[in-house]
Amino acid sequence: MKERTKHRSQDRDQREWENPDNWHGGIFGVYESEADSRVIVPKKNPKMGWTFNFAKPQAWLLLAGILLLAATITVVAILLEKR
Question: Residues 42, 43, 44, 47: is their CA dihedral positive or negative?
Answer: negative
| pLDDT recorded at residue 10 | 93
| pLDDT recorded at residue 7 | 77
Could you tell me if residue 29 is left (phi over 0), alpha (psi between -120 and 50 degrees) or otherwise beta? left
| pLDDT recorded at residue 73 | 98
DSSP code at position 28: G
| pLDDT recorded at residue 1 | 56
Question: Residues 12, 46, 21, 41: is their CA dihedral positive or negative?
Answer: positive
pLDDT tens-place values along the chain, 83 residues long = 566 677 788 999 999 999 999 999 877 789 999 999 999 999 988 898 999 999 999 999 999 999 999 999 999 999 999 88
| pLDDT recorded at residue 2 | 64
- Number of helices (H), then strands (E), belonging to the chain: the values are 2, 4
